[in-house]
Structure 1
């Protein structure tokens, strides 16, 4: 399993979720976006629907009809009822999970200490690969 830490500086979580979602869906996979903040999930949903001038990223909430068919599912729990292989923790809170090929932890200044603690907690876990990404003028760069 891979866990990517993405430090938000310039772009808000909803924009970064749309960027990651495009890549995940483009590879033929499904995505789960987790946030306990209902307002944040709504903002992410809007950003996904407006992802590009010629495209949109269909999505829905986990408690709605047809949730199992959504390519991008939004939820307050890390339960991939849509069969997602990738998960984004958009609210800066990492949750222990299994069954995902890749996890993305988005964090900002308010959750940076929590992200650092999670990085240390995951250090040395068998079968787990960590990476750290930061924005450099708009481009995402892997720094660790």
Structure 2
């Protein structure tokens, strides 16, 4: 599994989730977005829907009927009922999970210490590849 650490500085989490979600959808994969904050999940959903009529990113809540059919599912827990191969932890809290090809941990200044601890805790994880991305102006740069 790949775990990407994305340090948010300029853009808010919903905008970064939409950027990653577009890439995941372009690759023909499904996505699970996890946040324990219901207000954040709502903001992410709005950002995904407003991408535009040609490129809106259809999404739904894990507790709603038909959740298994959603290409992008928003949830408080990392349970990919939609068969997602990718997961974004949008609230800065990493959760142990299996079955995903790739995980994205979004963190900001408030959660940077926790992200460092998670990075370190994954040092000896077998079969795990890590990467660290930082926002530089409007571009994302791979730092490690």
**Alignment TM-score, normalising by the size of structure 2:** 0.98
Q: Which residue of 2 aligns with 1:88?
A: 88
- Cα deviation, 1:24-60, whole Å, max 9, x if unaligned, reads 0110000000000000000000000012463200000
Q: Equivalences for 1:1-144 in 2 at 5 Å?
A: 1-52=1-52, 54-144=54-144
Gaps of 5+ in 1: none
Does the residue aligned with 1:82 lie in a helix, a strand or coil? coil
Say which SS state the counterpart of residue 77 (structure 1) adopts: coil
The verdict on how the C-alpha distance between 1:113 and 1:38 changes in structure 2, with shifts beyond 3 A counting, is same
- Partners of 2:141 and 2:52 in 1: how far apart? 22
**Long gaps (5+) in structure 2:** none
Q: Which runs of at least 4 in structure 1 moved beyond 2 Å after TM superposition? A: none
Aligned CA distance change for structure 1 residues 98 and 61 (closer, same or farther; 3 Å): same
Give the length in aligned residue pairs. 144
Cα RMSD for the two superposed structures = 0.7
